[in-house]
Chain A
Amino acid sequence: MTATLALVRALFRTYTRNRQGLFWSLFFPVVLMLVFGLLGNSKAISINLAVAGGSPAFQHEISTALAHSTIFKVKEMTPTAARAAVRAGSEDAELLLPAILTPGQPAAITLYYNNANQVAAGQTVGAVQQAVGAINLALSGRPPALTVSPQPVSGSRSFSYLDFLLPGLLALTIMQGCLFGLATGLTRWKEQGVLRRFLATPLRPVQFLGATVINYILTNMVSVVIILIIGVDFLHATVQLPILPLLLAVVLGLAAFISIGFLIAGQAKSQEAVVPLVNLISFPMMFLSGVFFSPASLPPFLATVVSFFPLTYLANALRGLMSGQLVGLAPALWGDLAGLAAWTALGALIAGRTWRWE
Chain B
Amino acid sequence: MASQIRLEHLTKRYGAVTAVDDLSLTIPALGVFGLLGPNGAGKTTTLEIVEGLRTPDQGQVWFGDLDVVRHPHRAKALFGVQLQTSSFFELLTVSETLELFSSFYPKHIATADLVRRFDLTEKATAQVKTLSGGQRQRLALAAAMVNDPEVVFLDEPSAGLDPQARRHLWDMIAGLKAEGRTVILTTHYMEEAETLCDQLAIIDHGTILAVGRPQDLIRERLPGSLIELAPSVALPDGIRFAAMTALDRGEEAVVIHSSDLSKTLVDLVAWAGGASVDLAGIRTRGSSLEDLFLSLTGRSLRE
Contact = CB atoms under 8 A, between A and B. Distances in A.
B105 A13 contact: no
A212 B101 CA distance: 16
Interface in B38-52: 51-52
Interface stretch (B84-92, B111-119, B173-181, B259-267): B84-92
Interface of A: 2-3, 5-7, 10, 13-14, 17-18, 189, 192-194, 196-204
A10 B105 CA distance: 16
A200 B100 contact: no
Contacts of B105: 201-202
Interface stretch (B73-81, B210-218, B232-240): B73-81
B101 A196 contact: no
A189 B101 CA distance: 16
Given A3-B103, A201-B101, A196 B83 contact: yes
Nearest to B143: A197
A294 B4 CA distance: 68
Interface size class of B (residues with CB under 8 A): 20 to 34
Interface of B: 51-53, 73, 76-77, 79, 81, 83, 85-92, 96, 99-101, 103-106, 127, 143
A204 B104 CA distance: 9
Given A3-B103, A6-B100, A193-B83, A202 B77 contact: yes
B88 A14 contact: no
Nearest to B76: A202
A194 B99 contact: no
A18 B92 CA distance: 11
B87 A193 contact: yes
B73 A202 contact: yes
A194 B87 contact: yes
Given A13-B92, A17-B127, A199-B53, A6 B87 contact: no
B86 to A, nearest CB: 4
Contacts of A18: 91
Nearest to A185: B89
A7 B96 CA distance: 10
Given A17-B91, A17-B127, A197 B86 contact: yes
Contact of B104 (A3, A17, A192): A3
Closest 7 CB pairs of A and B: A6-B103, A200-B81, A197-B86, A17-B91, A14-B91, A193-B85, A201-B104
Contacts of B104: 3, 6, 198, 201-203
Contacts of A197: 81, 83, 86-88, 143
B17 to A, nearest CB: 17
Nearest to A6: B103
Nearest to B81: A200
Contacts of A189: 89
Given A6-B99, A10-B100, A201-B76, A192 B91 contact: no
Nearest to B51: A200
A132 B293 CA distance: 101
A202 B71 CA distance: 11
A196 B51 CA distance: 12
A10 B91 CA distance: 9
